[in-house]
Amino acid sequence: MSQGLKNIAKQYEAGSVEGRIYKMWEESGYFNPDNLKLPESAKSFCIVLPPPNITDKLHLGHAAMVAIEDVMIRYARMSGYRALWIPGTDHAAIATQNVVEKRLQKEEGKTRHDLGKEKFLEHVWKFLYETQSMIQKQIRNMGGSLDWSREAFTLDKPRAKAVSEMFCRMYGEGVIYRGHRIVNWCPRCESTLADDEIEYKEKEEKLYWIKYGPFVLATSRPETKLGDTAVAVHPDDPRYKEWIGKTVKISGVLGEFEVKVVADEVVDPKFGSGIIKVTPAHSFVDFEIGLRHQLPVKAVINEKGRMMENCGKYAGMTVAECREAIVADMEAMGIMDRVEDYTHNLSVCYRCSTAIEPLVSKQWFISVDKKLDRLGGKSLKEKALEAAKSDEIRFVPERFTKRYSNWMENLHDWCISRQIWFGHPIPVWYCQDCKEMTCARDEKLSECPSCHGSKLTQDPDSLDTWFSSGTWTFSTLGWPDNQDSKGNKTGDLAKFHPTSVLETGYEIITLWVSRMVMMSFFALGEIPFNTVYLHGLILDAQGKKMSKSKGNGIDPLDMIPKYGTDALRLSILLGNTPGTDMKFSEEKIDAAKRFVNKLWNISRYILTSIDLEKAKKTDIKSLVLTTADRWIIARSNEMIALSRECLDIEGRNYKISMLGEALREYTWSDLADWYVEIAKVEGQKDAILYHLLEILLRLWHPFIPFVSEEIWSNLAQKDPLIVSEWPKLLDIGEVENSRSQIEKIKDTVTAIRNIRAENKVDAGAFIKVKIASPSFGSLINSYREVIGKLARVEELEMVEALGEKMAGQFPFILDGVEGYVSVAVEDSGKSKEKLEKELSHYQILLENVRRKIDNVEFTSKAPEAVVAKEKEKAKEYRDIIEKIKTRL
């Protein structure tokens, strides 16, 4: 026997193994594909980690993300791909600024304005370094095999270069423009928000019916009347036909004013009275109507959410204060017709829940509809749609193609400027002398290219955080440096772009996935990734969203020391179907830990009972294989084939959970419960057991990398498991016959075991079995020792026909096998003793219950339900006692 194998610990201690193994991997350099021994022709497989926001430590959803991507990467690496997984973090501009602002308010009672931009940003960077290093540590703890030498941050120097290059190129081609447009404005963040940064909250409000010149109309926002520049009706509404094009006088709270009546298709004749007031400065719909009818835009609400100077006595009020005042004044003037209750969806800021104010403002936009010659005359939106519809980009699960396409089809120009301090600056300078605007890649522009003046100021806004994360697949691969003057990709970009898989949460399709596709088409004229694998949310055991405030969350940081990383990974990988939310509980992790221990124990058994060196040298094909050997090798081959199918890179098929469940079943049942037990009887299995173990560890490695690598280290292999080769099938010829035969043996053993269990036969007791099987007689005969051991049969009698059933015999019938199991013979003394013990136990219980029921004190005072329950118990105990008596 080889040296050292006796030293394998009895128990697997994740805590003492994981740190050491991760360090070994990291120091080996194998996370970096440049260090893998691969032929030049090796294909690339690349994933960019969706960069976690540096706003907080990682949660269970991130743990799932790391586990799923690590399975894909480890499989690709072992399958001979140039596997690259790029780590990184996201500065999350507006979200981070909000977190730091809240902290500042809580700890020092100050706002960002009290500190000023420079001091405030110092706070942000300090916070950022803390969380960033915590996140890096967590990803390492999760076992993620990422190439840390290529780590990126959305706000580091290389990404800043990519962002300003991207902006300047887009500006140069007219894809980025500056314009007065209506935007979603958060008065608290004092910044614009993209359409998908808005959430909707159902709110009980009022619908005000106001007398409006000759009309009566309904509005939920009477305060915006101060900014009305028209009323609109549907062109086909007969009630208002004669009014179209006319100017009407309206009496208002600040005196009389005039508006035009316009006809527009967008007006719903069924809402209110079919006529609406038009406030182009403060409503998206009205802004569009204003554009179509060249209406004046009169702003009355400012960027702090207060009424502007032009609002007379209402100036300076908040929107809510103004509404209250105006309603009172309208009532006093007699122009308030009536007020109704009204439930509607209020738009609120996704970061701070403040009600959104639509405002007209001068902002930067990306035109999604501008046709580009170099994209075949198509727009970014068209290219992004085409890629999904043609399956060039595959969504897993497929149903999300539709969600993506619907979103894309309705996409408007994307507002990319944000009025916040933390983020990428806009690379545009304004000249105070000649008023020219210059877009420049330089960090600081010192001379105006038009008039050579030096009084230049940079645009004070910063870029939407999704602008930088939109470049993530190529900015992490060295763009723009890795693109030559002809537009060809070089270096990492040529090797790894388009990337293979984007694995992310389905809730981020619109915010992020869609942007990445458009940005990649613009920069490189190609898709950013071949496959989008979407994972669901992890919910608590009741199916509710986990949250800190509800206290139902499971923190991966607490679980790893308790159960080990492998157990945590396995528990979130199994039962996890793409695109579907998953119920989760700590029990799942506990069950996974039990499996990890089981794998350890099987491996330990094999390694301590075989002659390793001899086993390694033996060619399985040179052995005479028994039926059981052929069966287990066939099962092992099946697992290999299934793994290739479930992790298939070229077919873009990822059924991780399905593979994991099948492997677990194979390991626990086929291998541990059956084959290892059969091997103990048949003997001489060193080479086969070694072969099975070696393959098993490779197959499990992507799921539970630590324990598999630790066991592997006892196999005296040249290379660590992480760079071992994915297993290949072992051809042993025809196996179908062996399969059906072993299945028959398993069924027979199971049938006998069932009868034992049903009759409460003592686990240690031996029984007698009589079997008649014209078709499988010789098979059963040759496996009589195995059956004897696994079903604890002391005497197995093979007969032509079973004959009449005697007392104490219990029958079983399988296809081709029939038998009688004799229960409670030989051992009757022991069983009888056990039954007698049980009898007296239940008699005592019954006596206790009876005493209660007979006690009037109890029955008169206790609630009816309690009394009924006691009576039920009494009946149950009486039944059990009867049953025991018949067996004695």
Q: Using CB under 5 A, list all residues that contact Zn ion.
A: 186, 188-189, 349, 351-352, 354, 431, 433-434, 436, 448, 450-451, 453
DSSP H/E element including 181 = strand 176-186
Listed in sequence order, the residues at least 6 apart from 203 whose beta carbon sits closer than 8 Å to its beta carbon are 343, 344, 345, 346
Query: Which of 95/649 has CB closer to Zn ion?
Result: 95
CB of 417 to Zn ion, least distance (A): 16
Query: Which of 315/352 has CB closer to Zn ion?
Result: 352
Query: Which of 345/782 has CB closer to Zn ion?
Result: 345
CB of 380 to Zn ion, least distance (A): 28
Q: Report helix, strand and coil shares of the chain as percent, to nearest 5.
A: 45, 20, 35
Listed in sequence order, the residues at least 6 apart from 186 whose beta carbon sits closer than 8 Å to its beta carbon are 192, 193, 349, 351, 352, 354, 356, 357
Listed in sequence order, the residues at least 6 apart from 365 whose beta carbon sits closer than 8 Å to its beta carbon are 176, 177, 178, 179, 181, 413, 414, 415, 416
For residue 495, give the 3-state DSSP assignment. helix
Query: Which of 95/695 has CB closer to Zn ion?
Result: 95
Query: Which of 431/874 has CB closer to Zn ion?
Result: 431
Query: Which of 352/494 has CB closer to Zn ion?
Result: 352
For residue 799, give the 3-state DSSP assignment. coil
- Amino acid occupying residue 430: Y
Query: Which of 237/436 has CB closer to Zn ion?
Result: 436
Using only the alpha carbons of the chain, give its radius of gyration: 37
For residue 430, give the 3-state DSSP assignment. strand
Query: Which of 93/431 has CB closer to Zn ion?
Result: 431
**Alpha helices per DSSP H over 334-443:** 380-389, 400-409
Query: Which of 347/637 has CB closer to Zn ion?
Result: 347
List, in sequence order, every residue forming a beta bridge with 483; answer none if it has no partner: 489
CB of 727 to Zn ion, least distance (A): 53
CB of 351 to Zn ion, least distance (A): 5
Query: Which of 393/511 has CB closer to Zn ion?
Result: 511
CA atoms within 13 A on the CB side of 206: 14
The C-alpha angle 157, 158, 162, rounded to 5 degrees, equals 115
Shortest CA distance to 192 belongs to which of 416, 518, 36, 434? 416
Query: Which of 436/762 has CB closer to Zn ion?
Result: 436
Retrieve residue 128's tokens: 């950022």
Retrieve residue 371's tokens: 């046709």
- How many other C-beta atoms are found inside a 10 Å radius of the C-beta of residue 327? 18
Burial degree of 617 (CB within 10 A; 0-12, 13-18, 19+):
exposed
CB of 453 to Zn ion, least distance (A): 4
CB of 440 to Zn ion, least distance (A): 13
Query: Which of 73/186 has CB closer to Zn ion?
Result: 186
Look at phi and psi of residue 544 and say left if phi exceeds 0, alpha if psi is from -120 to 50, else beta: beta
CB of 217 to Zn ion, least distance (A): 31
CB of 194 to Zn ion, least distance (A): 12
**Alpha helices per DSSP H over 823-863:** 828-854, 856-861
CB of 357 to Zn ion, least distance (A): 11
CB of 418 to Zn ion, least distance (A): 11
Specify the pairing of strand 357-366 against strand 414-415: antiparallel
Query: Which of 49/359 has CB closer to Zn ion?
Result: 359
Q: In 266-313, which ranges are E strands?
A: 275-278
Distance separating alpha carbons of residues 293 and 366, to the nearest angstrom: 25
CB of 112 to Zn ion, least distance (A): 13
CB burial string 283-304: b at 16+ within 10 A, e below: bbbbbebbeebebebbbbbbbe
Burial degree of 74 (CB within 10 A; 0-12, 13-18, 19+):
buried
**C-beta of residue 73 within 8 angstroms of C-beta of residue 726:** no
**C-beta of residue 808 within 8 angstroms of C-beta of residue 823:** yes
Distance separating alpha carbons of residues 636 and 642, to the nearest angstrom: 10
Distance separating alpha carbons of residues 690 and 684, to the nearest angstrom: 12
CB of 452 to Zn ion, least distance (A): 7
Query: Which of 185/703 has CB closer to Zn ion?
Result: 185
Query: Which of 355/825 has CB closer to Zn ion?
Result: 355
CB of 348 to Zn ion, least distance (A): 8
Query: Which of 352/802 has CB closer to Zn ion?
Result: 352
CB of 316 to Zn ion, least distance (A): 21
Query: Which of 49/448 has CB closer to Zn ion?
Result: 448
Cα-Cα-Cα-Cα dihedral sign, residues 472, 475, 478, 482: positive
CB of 419 to Zn ion, least distance (A): 11
CB of 349 to Zn ion, least distance (A): 3
User: What are the DSSP calls for 646-690, one per residue?
Assistant: HT-TTTT---HHHHHHHHHHIIIIIIIIIIHHHHHHH---HHHHH
Retrieve residue 169's tokens: 């190129």
CB of 456 to Zn ion, least distance (A): 8
CB of 450 to Zn ion, least distance (A): 4
Query: Which of 356/380 has CB closer to Zn ion?
Result: 356
Distance separating alpha carbons of residues 310 and 297, to the nearest angstrom: 13
Q: Which residue shows structure tokens 């209660």?
A: 852
Shortest CA distance to 752 belongs to which of 674, 812, 797, 806? 812
